[in-house]
Amino acid sequence: MKSKIAIGADHAGFTYKEAVKTWLEQQGYEVEDFGTYSAESADYADFAHPVASAVEDGRAERGVLVCGSGQGVSITANKHQGIRAALVWAPELASLSRQHNNANVICLPERFISVETALHCVDIFLHTDFEGGRHARRVAKISC
């Protein structure tokens, strides 16, 4: 079994959350799903905080969050000191978020990308290493 991934979404990200969850499980990852569990209206913070907490305290190696724009879950997750949540809508951003920012949560905008792009971005996010070096100095300055 590969590492554990925390996942969550509001109603606007529910469909992609389910697709990403299925894909992750098929790849051998253990997935902890923090909801939502339907497309009924729900508040993104109710799912972003538990995902961020799971990554922050080490219960999950990385997190995946989805909402309509990706903004709400990103803003919420980044309130946690140990989280570097990156809003990603293209494969290049997925790799750079890991290489340069050591992002540990990927935030996806369901209303603006295809499910294929979302899955490709998650794959890149999970398989790209942090480069360290000059980027480590910069990342160390993020938390106050």
Catalytic residue check, 100 = yes
132 CB contacts (<8 Å, ≥6 apart)? none
Burial of 114 (0-12, 13-18, 19+ CB in 10 A): exposed
Strand 62-67 relative to strand 4-9, pairing: parallel
104: helix, strand or coil: coil
11, 49, 80, 100: which is the annotated catalytic residue?
100
Q: Are 117 and 97 in contact (CB under 8 A)?
A: no
67 in catalytic set: yes
Catalytic residue among 11, 67, 80, 121: 67
* Cβ proximity of 97 and 88 under 8 Å: yes
- Active site positions, annotated: 67, 100
